Amino acid sequence: MDYAALSANLLLISFIAYLVGTFFFGGAVKVSKTEKTYKDSMWGKIGIVVTIIGFVTQLGYFITRWIAAGHAPVSNMFEFTTAFSMMLVGSFILIFFIYKTPSLGLFALPIAIVIIAYASMFPREITPLIPALKSYWLTVHVITAALGESILAISAVAGLIYLAKNVDVTKKSKELFWLEAVMFTLVLVIGFVVSSTAFSLSGYEADFNYVDKNGKASEMTYNMPPLFGMSEYEQVTTDTMKPWFEMPAIVNAKTLTTFVWSLATGIVLYLLLRLIFRRPIAALLQPFAKKANSQLMDEIGYRSVLIGFPVFTLGALIFAMIWAHEAWSRLWGWDPKEVWALITWLFYAAFLHLRLSQGWEGKKSAWLAVAGFVIIMFNLIAVNLIIAGLHSYA
Amino acid sequence: MSKFKCQCGHENPFGTVLCEKCGRPLTDEAQKSEMVDMRYEGSARRSQTYKKTIIDKIWNFFSSVKVGVSIIIAVLSTSSIGTIFPQKFYVPVSGNDPSEYLEYYERLYGTVGKLYYQLGFYDMYNSWWFKILIGMLGTSIIIASLDRVIPLYKSLKKQRTKRHPSFMKRQRIYGESDIADSDESLEKAQKALKDLHYKVKVEDGAILAEKNRFGRWGPYINHIGLIIFLLGVLMRGIPGFYVDETMWIREGETREIPGAPGYLLENIDFSVETYSKEESNAVFGEAIEKNGSIVKEFKSDVKLYKEKEGSLPGSADVEFLKEYPIIVNKPLKFDGYSIFQMDYKIGELKTMKFTLMNKKTEKSLGEFTIDLNEPAKDYDLGNGSSIELMEYYADYDGIVDGQPSSKSPIPNNPAFIFNMKTPDHPDGEKSFVAIRQTLEVEPNDYEAKFMSAETRDASGLTIRKDKTLYILLLGGIVFMIGVIQGSYWQHRRIWIQKGTGSEMLIAAHTNKNWYTLKKDLDKVKEVAALPTYTDKQDKDAVIDTTEGETN
């Protein structure tokens, strides 16, 4: 059997299932009139069934790809990010069965969808393991760390619902500005997906020779029109556009080009949305969050940090140290990824202390949960793509 | 300091907010509040009670969670600075010359890079101020825990089943109403609570149902774990506890292992293996085509020896211990040491073979081979011919001040000055020979012509010994136990008692997860007639019902 092809199809099915699930959770929120019908709504029940089907197929993707590759599919950006989205949905299902609240699904599933779409923009072929990754600790460390991060992410989803419900969107405020900033960031990710997909469908390619930061001659292929050229670049494909600027050797001009294209597409998308609806995006979300119980969202936000924090500690710090000791001869080397895992950990430790003893509940706690998710995403995206380190496997 | 007597007769330590026994609010503030602060059970904490001497002030500073959180925020924000540019140990600069580091940061990152170097951020995790921050964090963990855990323990131990109504009323979850048969309700509630695995105590018409008290100790246990971990890190400074050395060893060489006295290592063979497209299954084909070759394995086959007891250091009297292939992720382990595959060099020159040749007749007088790491001085070719190696430059770097110079002892670019003694020229002809280059002072009749070279690989290995590992691991395990205990078990208490007349009071408290506490209460209420309670913090509860009705 061709496991690799099967695996790709299963992922596609789960992606569609999450879209359908979102729709049903939306229905649950829309039709329910009382707290009771909201919790026991038929729409919500179908929503969770569809979500579970999606989760099971995504688990199928994970297992078949594991069989095909012969190693846990968590070894590059595509695989890790997809696994993260799977665990996010898994954590959502777990929390849903504790608290039975459709609003959480309405917000969690779209985030999982965006994350899968984001992951799919990276090379998807199955790569063999490089020597540093050849260890069963790859499976243990990465899966536990991703699981911890995904449970922590649920806290941000609950926080977002809390904020969407409780921030006053009718008048300008700092809170509204920042909530809108979070929404804008999400639109940027969609901008990245849209622009990458558009250029890849058109088959755009531009080859360059350049000199890297160690003075070595190298080659680079752009998949988007090159706005920025690598250091001392030389165009190989002549019918493509000439870069506007040449960058110094430490800047990866290709990454910068992708970023600027995504930013531009994101801004256009955002402006379009604003023009169509004539309201901040945060205001568009409010009706979807209105049915949620603030106290419950606060509770979920806190509870998921409580559940996720020990898992994260185990996976991202303790297992990480044990493996680092086997592979790199030291427990801890202040590599950027390690430092950012420590920062994430310290941040959630601060969150717990503020909540326990300073009484930071409600809005403050919701903001912290959202900020924690931003740090996790920073570690996943920026540290891999911008800050070079030992963990740059993407 | 004097004790403080509550109306119930219990003597509380000075500074107590809620009576340890009956829960009566003792301070003005607590008496005025609608909802009492239940953290640490309103017990007398040193930091809240004594504020005079300098020791009090230091204690109070470090016991404050606000200060603790500030230190955490300081550590996390400064840590992020160190990730902007690579840290010192990832910079490919050999030696310890500060100017070379400065040059590196300035060349790659410009003025910002220069500033980054000058402010010390390039090695910030070893800086005095970062270490002080970590030290402060450790101090804060110890003091803040001690300040809380002892009084908390005492008051939880002394708590009475029957609480004063003023305590009940000030709980977040509280309800009161008249109940027809309060005795029957108490009886049923007691059973229902036992079914929910609560520990139930009954006293004089009052119930205290308690669950998972041990969860309260979780934070303190995880703090102990952290302290053990930090102590482990400190112990690395003790000589012999921590070894971190590197060695380069060429194929065929046997070397003493730095940092592990008495042990020797022989490098049999170093190899790099890549995934070949044919051998790996079709699954990887696309990736290999796209990325070119992908490395499968770096391997150093080594033999480990130990000097025999009583033998002189460096003597050949050694005992063979084991043969082992060191690959990434599979270090060689012995006697607390681990040797890791970290780096390699392919094709380093080992020997060069020359032939002594008459330039005109092209007739050879014989061949000689030079060991580039330990070159011999003289090479006898027989028949009255010989070569004298006058000078050797392992890593020839051009002429400096009229003299050829070598920039390192590694034979990357060997150059020689030969004195060729032949029957024609018994005093010898001098010749400077480097790769693809021969210089002669005056035209010679003979030349040393390069024939062939042998190369070999070298392994870059790291030697570690870390006696603190088990301490760190212990710290990690204790932390995990504590953090799981504190996060996954919540301390819940439910108080039910008879009030005046047919009135009943109900109150409940948990340190976290109020949702489940309320579910427990609802289950009890299903079987026993009890007052309806309200959650003073759930402001939506009212709105939810009204919205539901009007929609």
Do B291 and B422 lie in one domain? The reply is yes
Contacts of A280 (CB under 8 A, 6+ apart): A169, A176, A180, A183, A274
> Is B30 contained in some domain?
no
| Distances B275 to A243, B270, B279, B481 between C-alpha atoms, Å | 36, 17, 7, 43
CB contact under 8 A, B68 and A353: yes
Q: What letter does residue B258 receive in the DSSP assignment?
A: T
CB contact under 8 A, A128 and B294: yes
> Is B217 contained in some domain?
no
How many Å apart are CA B27 and CA B88, to the nearest integer? 56
Do B195 and B250 lie in one domain? The reply is no
How many Å apart are CA B119 and CA B113, to the nearest integer? 10
Domain boundary among B91, B122, B157: B157
For residues B57 and B197, is the Cβ–Cβ distance under 8 A? Answer: no
Q: Compute how many other C-beta atoms are within 10 angstroms of the C-beta atom of residue A299.
A: 22
What letter represents residue B437's amino acid? Q
How many Å apart are CA A141 and CA A393, to the nearest integer? 15
Do B277 and B339 lie in one domain? The reply is yes
Q: Which two tokens stand for residue A248?
A: 């110094």
Do B414 and B512 lie in one domain? The reply is no
Domain boundary among B442, B460, B478: B460
CB contact under 8 A, B108 and A130: no
Partners of residue B274 in chain A, C-beta under 8 Å: none
In chain B, what is the greatest distance between 2 CA atoms, to the nearest angstrom? Answer: 133
Residue A36 sits at the chain B interface (C-beta within 8 Å): yes
How many Å apart are CA B4 and CA B11, to the nearest integer? 5
Do B398 and B537 lie in one domain? The reply is no
Residue A284, min C-alpha distance to chain B (Å): 20
Do B432 and B289 lie in one domain? The reply is yes
**Strand ranges, E, within B394-515:** 396-400, 403-406, 415-421, 429-434, 437-440, 446-466, 492-498, 503-510
Do B406 and B498 lie in one domain? The reply is no
Partners of residue A331 in chain B, C-beta under 8 Å: 466, 469, 472
Partners of residue B298 in chain A, C-beta under 8 Å: 131
Q: What are phi and psi of B89, to 5 degrees?
A: -75, -10
CB contact under 8 A, B284 and A306: no
Partners of residue A68 in chain B, C-beta under 8 Å: 283
Q: What letter does residue B40 receive in the DSSP assignment?
A: G
Q: Which residue of A has its CA nearest to B327?
A: A131
Q: Which residue of B has its CA nearest to A212?
A: B108
> Is B149 contained in some domain?
yes
pLDDT of residue A153: 95
Domain boundary among B439, B460, B481: B460
> Is B9 contained in some domain?
no
Contacts of B311 (CB under 8 A, 6+ apart): B317, B318
How many Å apart are CA B443 and CA B112, to the nearest integer? 57
How many Å apart are CA B168 and CA B25, to the nearest integer? 10
Do B270 and B147 lie in one domain? The reply is no
Q: What letter does residue B308 receive in the DSSP assignment?
A: P
How many Å apart are CA A316 and CA A337, to the nearest integer? 10
Find the helix or strand (DSSP H, E) in which B268 lies.
Answer: strand B263-274
Question: What's the full length of chain B, in residues?
Answer: 551
**DSSP per residue, B329-388:** TB-EEETTEEEEEEEEEEEEEEEEEEEEEETTT--EEEEEEEESSS--SEEEEETTEEEE
How many Å apart are CA B145 and CA B40, to the nearest integer? 11
Query: What domain count does chain B have?
Result: 3
What letter represents residue B539's amino acid? K
Q: Which residue of B has its CA nearest to A134?
A: B329
For residues B16 and B46, is the Cβ–Cβ distance under 8 A? Answer: no
Q: Compute how many other C-beta atoms are within 10 angstroms of the C-beta atom of residue B226.
A: 21
Partners of residue A134 in chain B, C-beta under 8 Å: 297, 328-329
Contacts of A70 (CB under 8 A, 6+ apart): none
For residues B486 and B149, is the Cβ–Cβ distance under 8 A? Answer: no
pLDDT of residue A84: 95
Q: Which of A260, A15, A235 is nearest to A120 (CA)?
A: A15
> Is B318 contained in some domain?
yes
Q: Which two tokens stand for residue B522?
A: 């609802």
CB nearest B295 (choices: A131, A339, A354):
A131
3-state secondary structure chain A: CCHHHHHHHHHHHHHHHHHHHHHHHHHHHHHCCCHHHHHHCHHHHHHHHHHHHHHHHHHHHHHHHHHHHCCCCCCCHHHHHHHHHHHHHHHHHHHHHHHCCHHHHHHHHHHHHHHHHHHCCCCCCCCCCCHHHCCHHHHHHHHHHHHHHHHHHHHHHHHHHHHHHHCCCCCCCHHHHHHHHHHHHHHHHHHHHHHHHHHHHCCCCEEEEEECCCCCEEEEEECCCCCEECCCCEECCCCCCCCCEECCCCCCHHHHHHHHHHHHHHHHHHHHHHHHHCCCHHHHHHHHHCCCCHHHHHHHHHHHHHHHHHHHHHHHHHHHHHHHHHHCCCCCCCCHHHHHHHHHHHHHHHHHHHHHHHCCCCHHHHHHHHHHHHHHHHHHHHHHHCCCCCCCCC
For residues A85 and A119, is the Cβ–Cβ distance under 8 A? Answer: yes
Residue B280, min C-alpha distance to chain A (Å): 9
Q: What is the pLDDT along chain B (551 residues), one digit of tens a residue?
A: 567 788 888 888 888 888 888 888 888 888 888 888 887 888 888 887 788 888 888 998 998 889 999 999 999 999 999 888 888 888 877 667 788 888 888 888 888 889 999 898 988 998 999 999 999 999 999 999 998 898 888 888 888 888 888 888 889 999 988 888 888 888 899 999 999 999 999 888 889 999 999 999 999 999 999 999 999 998 887 887 888 888 889 888 888 898 888 899 999 999 888 887 766 667 777 777 777 778 888 999 999 998 887 766 666 678 899 999 999 989 999 988 999 998 888 888 888 999 888 888 888 888 899 988 888 888 888 888 889 998 898 888 887 777 888 887 888 888 999 888 888 888 888 888 887 778 887 788 888 888 888 888 889 999 998 888 899 999 999 999 999 999 999 999 999 988 888 888 999 999 888 888 999 999 998 888 888 888 888 766 654 443 333 33
pLDDT of residue A35: 62
How many Å apart are CA B246 and CA B101, to the nearest integer? 20
Q: Which two tokens stand for residue B159?
A: 């708590």
For residues B430 and B391, is the Cβ–Cβ distance under 8 A? Answer: no
Residues 329-368 of A with CB under 8 A from B: 329-331, 333-336, 339-340, 342-343, 346-347, 349-350, 353-354, 356-358, 361
**DSSP helix/strand/coil, B183:** helix
For chain A, the domains span 3-169+286-385, 188-278
Residue numbers of the domain that contains B328? 242-460
CB contact under 8 A, B79 and A248: no
Complex prediction ipTM: 0.89
> Is B2 contained in some domain?
no
CB contact under 8 A, B86 and A388: yes
Q: Which two tokens stand for residue B318?
A: 């050694």
CB nearest B283 (choices: A4, A306, A331):
A4
List for chain B the helix, strand, coil content (%; round to 5).
35, 35, 30
Beta strand B364-371 with B396-400 is unpaired
Burial class from Cβ neighbours inside 10 Å (0-12, 13-18, 19+) for residue B322 reads exposed
Q: What are phi and psi of A208, to 5 degrees?
A: -135, 150
For residues B506 and B206, is the Cβ–Cβ distance under 8 A? Answer: no
Q: What is the pLDDT along chain A (394 residues), one digit of tens a residue?
A: 688 889 999 999 999 999 999 999 998 888 777 666 677 788 889 999 999 999 999 999 999 999 988 899 998 889 999 999 999 999 999 999 988 888 899 999 999 999 999 999 888 888 888 888 888 999 999 999 999 999 999 999 999 999 999 988 888 889 999 999 999 999 998 999 999 899 888 888 888 888 877 777 888 888 888 888 888 888 887 777 888 888 877 778 888 888 899 999 999 999 999 999 988 888 888 888 888 888 889 999 999 999 999 999 999 999 999 999 888 888 888 888 899 999 999 999 999 999 887 778 889 999 999 999 999 998 888 877 776 555 555 4
